[in-house]
Amino acid sequence: MKLLIMAAGIGSRYGGLKQIDGFGPNGETIMDYSIYDAIKSGFDEVIFILQDNMVEDFYKKFDHAFGGQLKVSHVVQRTDIEYNGSLILRKKPWGTAHAILSARNVIDTPFVVINADDFYGPKAFKQMANFLSEVNSEDQFALVGYRLGNTLTASGHVARGICESDGSNYLVSIKEKTRIFKDGDRIYNLENDVKEYLTTETLVSMNCWAFTPSIFNHIQNSFNDFIARNRQSENAELFIPNVLNGLLDTGAIRIKVIESIDPWFGVTYRGDKEKATSKIDQLIKEGIYPASLWD
């Protein structure tokens, strides 16, 4: 089974490449713990999505090769895009949907995709591995969902995919909200001067998805339309919920929602590092992880 990790973010709010920053007692990254959990669940290949200028530093960081327990490779998410015979140049990546699209030439089987800077927990990978072993339709996908109140930071706003599911735990809609923050005991999203109240129990996506290769054609179609509209923008991004929501509206796909029972944590801002490090220390004390992952 293949695990695709989105690690091409520039970390502007963190102030550096958080995907290769150390959080464990031996400098382990959050990705190390995700990969450790994935191996335990039967994954045997990991593919990293990187930017060109990250590749050398990335492989220096991961020279341990995860104990030699899986195949390791990478693809590059380019920021220069060809459109109608012209090259569009910009510094910022084009979003999570485009990141996944970068891997279309190296993945031809069902796979799981995650963020590099989110800790999902061991059971999330077991749940996704079980789903992949049973999937029998090219347009049947899955999502591990988390409760919004457990996914916020005190350091600033975050982006989350707000999920609505039906009585059979299939996704009805998912909408990307990009400025969610906590104000006292209440949670809001503020976009275009519109303040929207959200509950702590709202189910959200943290980009832990199971897809079949059919997702690449779906993303390509959406990205073509997106570039036609946004080719002159320095900041516009195509998020995976933008792609999936349109497909859900037409009934082209089904997405099983699997709610996580593991705790989530992640890093968006530099101020999140202390909490993440403390969480990992606690998990080691509880015996969930060894003190040194790859010995």
At 10 the pLDDT is 63
Look up the pTM and report it. Answer: 0.93
* DSSP per-residue letters across 78-147: -S-EEETTEEE--SS---HHHHHHTTTTT--S-EEEEETTEE--HHHHHHHHHHHHH---TTEEEEEEEE
Q: Rounded to an integer, what distance in angstroms lies between the CA atom of residue 159 and that of residue 189?
A: 9
At 56 the pLDDT is 87
Note whether 7 and 48 are within 8 A (CB).
yes
Digit-by-digit pLDDT tens for the chain (295 residues) are 999 999 987 666 666 677 878 899 999 999 999 999 999 999 999 999 998 888 888 888 887 778 788 899 999 999 898 888 888 988 888 999 999 999 999 999 999 999 998 999 999 999 999 999 998 899 999 999 999 988 888 878 888 989 999 989 999 999 989 899 988 889 999 988 889 999 999 999 999 999 999 999 999 999 999 999 998 899 899 999 999 999 999 999 999 999 987 778 888 888 888 989 999 999 999 999 999 988 7
Q: Rounded to an integer, what distance in angstroms lies between the CA atom of residue 249 and that of residue 259?
A: 22
**215 phi, psi to nearest 5 deg:** -60, -30
Q: Rounded to an integer, what distance in angstroms lies between the CA atom of residue 192 and that of residue 210?
A: 32
The token pair that represents 32 in the structure block: 């190390």
